[in-house]
Structure 1
Amino acid sequence: MGDVTHLFRRLLGALERVAMILSGTALLIMGGIVTASVLGRQLFNAPIPDDLIMVGLLMVCVIALPLAFIESQSGHIAVTVTTDWLPVRARGLLRAFGALAMMVFFGSIGFMVSQKLPREIAQGTYYDGTLEIPTWPMKIVFAAGIALFVLRLAVSIAEGLRTCATGVAPAHDRPTAPDRSEQV
């Protein structure tokens, strides 16, 4: 069982890293499109057609793809003023509950988007503009990013329940002791 769990975690981590690389690449492409469009508009009076649509669509990659990685690092914004005082088991239960709530919320959004995909692909829907950019590619990216996030949330739920049962927090959730070597 431990080997399967280890393999699953490695695979999930690899997928999260690929999603982060794609997200970063999309951010660089967004910057390139904006820069080229501004230069084209100022120098040649010809901006890149549908530049705002392309930047908006690439924003989907920048937002949806890193969610799972951020969850794996416990990097989401959280207010823990009162929960830090609770016992480890209670914090594990709250972590599991929070991950479950996020899973229901984001999973529902991802499910609704993925349900529309076959119809949009079949109908060939596109954004109005010069380039007639199809709507479905970024919706697939969004659904994939949310699916990866939901998978990571399932792992977070399991970790939270394990913490609740055992009283031992995962390594990334343990508070670190202050480094006393820097004090004079």
Structure 2
Amino acid sequence: MSGLLRRLALISALAGCACACLVALLTVASIAGRSLWSRPIPGDVELSQFGIALCIALCLPWCQLQRANIIVDFFTQKMAPRPRGLLDAVGALLLALMVGLLAWRTMVGALSVREAGEATMILDLPMWISYAALGPGLALTALIALAQVLPHLRGEPAA
């Protein structure tokens, strides 16, 4: 696996973890504000939804790199390495195509939402930013899955 892809995946995962921590702090602060002063943080649900979606998109590349996605290997665990590698290669290729399609359509959606001028209900934040922020993590996941296809075919470790 390319050292560059590995570094990008790690940076992405760390950013995703930071995002999840910020959402957790936001949630605690909002609940405390609601309990103590009857004043939650305005737009906390909007920010939490965006933050967790971003966290997931940013952690996907590292998850794919580590082969930590859910794999149903009940039928393949006793297969010979060669046919199992072929199935893993097909799976990685299909994942690369699917996540690449998601990245592309997410970016197209971001442009469409930007043109429409849509904004969140409470904070009036531009919605296109939340769509656009998901694209890089999805695209990196697609690149990593694509880079794993050949090693799977050769029977080499893909991570």
TM-score by length of 2: 0.92
Query: Partner amino acid for 1:30?
Result: V
Three-state SS of the structure 1 residue aligned to 2:67 is coil
Instruction: Find the counterpart in structure 1 of residue 12 from structure 2.
Output: 19
Deviation at 1:104? 2.2
The change in CA–CA distance for 1:171 and 1:64 in structure 2 (over 3 A counts) is: closer
Aligned residue runs from structure 1 range 1-184, under 5 A: 9-129=2-122, 131-163=123-155, 169-170=156-157
- SS across alignment from 1:83: coil
Following the alignment from structure 2 to structure 1, what is the Cα–Cα distance between the partners of residues 150 and 90?
10
The amino acid across from 1:102 in the alignment is L
Query: Per the alignment, in what secondary structure is the counterpart of residue 102 of structure 1?
Result: helix
Residue 171 of structure 1 and its aligned partner are, at CA, apart by 7.2
Q: CA deviation at 1:65?
A: 0.9
> In structure 1, what is the Cα distance between the partners aligned to 2:94 and 2:111?
28
CA contact (8 A) 2:151 2:158 kept: no
Q: Does the aligned pair in 1 maintain the 2:96–2:146 contact within 8 Å?
A: yes
Contact 2:96 2:145 in 1 (8 A): yes
Task: Return closer, same or farther for 1:13/1:35 CA change in 2, 3 Å cut-off.
Answer: same
Q: CA deviation at 1:144?
A: 0.7
1:119 Cα deviation from its structure 2 partner: 3.1
Q: Is the partner of 1:133 in helix, strand or coil?
A: coil
Amino acid at match of 1:58: G
> Residue 45 of structure 1 aligns to which amino acid in structure 2?
S
Q: Distance in 1 between matches of 2:42 and 2:35?
A: 14
Percent of residue pairs bearing the same amino acid type:
26
- What letter corresponds to residue 69 of structure 2 in structure 1? H
Residue identity in the other structure for 1:140? A
Secondary structure, aligned partner of 1:125: coil
One-letter amino acid of the structure 2 residue matched with residue 36 of structure 1 = A
Deviations 1:43-64 (A, max 9, x none): 1111100100100000112211
Stretches of structure 1 that go unaligned for 5 or more consecutive residues are 1-5, 164-168, 173-184
What whole-Å deviation, never above 9, does each CA across 1:154-179 have from its counterpart, x for those lacking one? 0111211222xxxxx3275xxxxxxx
Deviations 1:53-84 (A, max 9, x none): 10000011221111111111111111222212
Amino acid at match of 2:65: S
Counterpart code for 1:127? T
Aligned-pair Cα RMSD in Å: 1.6
